[in-house]
């Protein structure tokens, strides 16, 4: 049940503010109260602490005077409007951020797609280069083998040539025929 603690001085101050053309909100009403002697200050402290029984009257909103009901309704409506404006502002900000994130997601997705394509192309090129490297290594190995064989043949040929030269340097046996 909606119950409001009502104190006669608060109602009087609210009516006075309304007649003066001011909006009787809690802060304005509170500032108009006379705190001399500390009686009202103690009363407000006890209300906040929930210890006020003798000096306050519990009542339903429907039991309040129509002026107070109207003031409460106006205050409630202002607070609802303020809260709604705050929520709409937050919603607009969230929506803007969501749209920014969606656009960023789209850009990043497109970039990821391009990078995947580039990676596939690079992978294919790496495979092609690896095949070329393997063929070149094989050709180099064959050429080294051929070079080694050629060097052995050259060495063997030089040794044969050296033997022949030694044989040529040796004197020929003279024939035993008569001169």
**What is the residue whose two structure tokens read 């309704």?**
73
- Residue 44 counted as domain residue: yes
Helix (H, G, I), strand (E, B), or coil: what is residue 34? coil
pLDDT at 112 over 60: yes
| One domain, residues 10 and 40 | yes
> What pLDDT digit, counting tens, does each position of 168-177 carry?
887 766 655 5
Q: H or E element: which one contains 58? A: strand 57-60
> What pLDDT digit, counting tens, does each position of 135-168 carry?
999 999 999 999 999 999 999 999 999 988 888 8
Averaged confidence pLDDT in the chain: 80
Looking at per-residue confidence, does 116 or 25 come out higher?
116
Contacts of 13 (CB under 8 A, 6+ apart): 24, 29, 32, 33
The CA-based angle 168-173-174, given to 5 degrees, is: 125
Count other Cβ atoms within 10 Å, centred on residue 13. 19
Per the structure, the complete domain to which residue 23 belongs is given by 1-64
Q: Nearest-CA neighbor of 11 among 55, 71, 62, 53? A: 71
How does 85-94 read in b/e, with b if 16+ C-beta sit within 10 Å?
eeeeeeeeee
Q: Considering its fold, how many domains does the chain have in total? A: 2
- Per-residue pLDDT, 172: 66
Confidence of residue 86 (pLDDT cuts 50, 70, 90): very high
Tokens of 41: 């200050």
| One domain, residues 95 and 39 | no
- Residue 159 counted as domain residue: no
Residue range 90-105: mean pLDDT, rounded: 96
- Per-residue pLDDT, 53: 45
- Per-residue pLDDT, 52: 44
Residue range 106-120: mean pLDDT, rounded: 97
| One domain, residues 111 and 101 | yes
> What pLDDT digit, counting tens, does each position of 11-57 carry?
777 778 888 888 777 667 667 666 544 444 445 554 445 444 444 55
- Residue 47 counted as domain residue: yes
Note the helical H segments in the chain: 8-19, 26-32, 39-49, 66-169
- Per-residue pLDDT, 136: 96
Tokens of 122: 């690079």
Given a contact cutoff of 8 angstroms between Cβ atoms, the answer to whether 29 and 17 are in contact is: yes
Looking at per-residue confidence, does 122 or 178 come out higher?
122
């Amino acid at each position: 049940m909606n119950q409001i603690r009502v104190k006669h001085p608060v109602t009087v101050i609210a009516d006075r503010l309304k007649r003066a053309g001011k909006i009787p909100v809690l802060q304005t009403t509170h500032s108009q109260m006379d705190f001399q002697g500390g009686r009202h200050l103690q009363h407000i402290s006890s209300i906040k602490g929930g210890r006020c029984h003798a000096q306050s009257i519990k009542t339903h909103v429907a039991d309040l005077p129509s002026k107070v009901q109207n003031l409460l309704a106006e205050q409630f409506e202002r607070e609802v409007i303020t809260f709604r404006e705050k929520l709409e502002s937050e919603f607009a900000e969230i929506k803007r951020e969501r749209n920014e994130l969606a656009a960023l997601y789209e850009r990043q997705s497109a970039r990821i797609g391009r990078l995947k394509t580039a990676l596939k192309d690079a992978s294919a090129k790496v495979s092609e280069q690896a095949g070329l490297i393997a063929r070149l290594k094989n050709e180099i190995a064959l050429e080294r083998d051929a070079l080694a064989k050629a060097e052995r043949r050259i060495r063997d040929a030089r040794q044969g040539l050296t033997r022949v030269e030694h044989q040529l340097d040796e004197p020929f046996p003279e024939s035993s025929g008569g001169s």
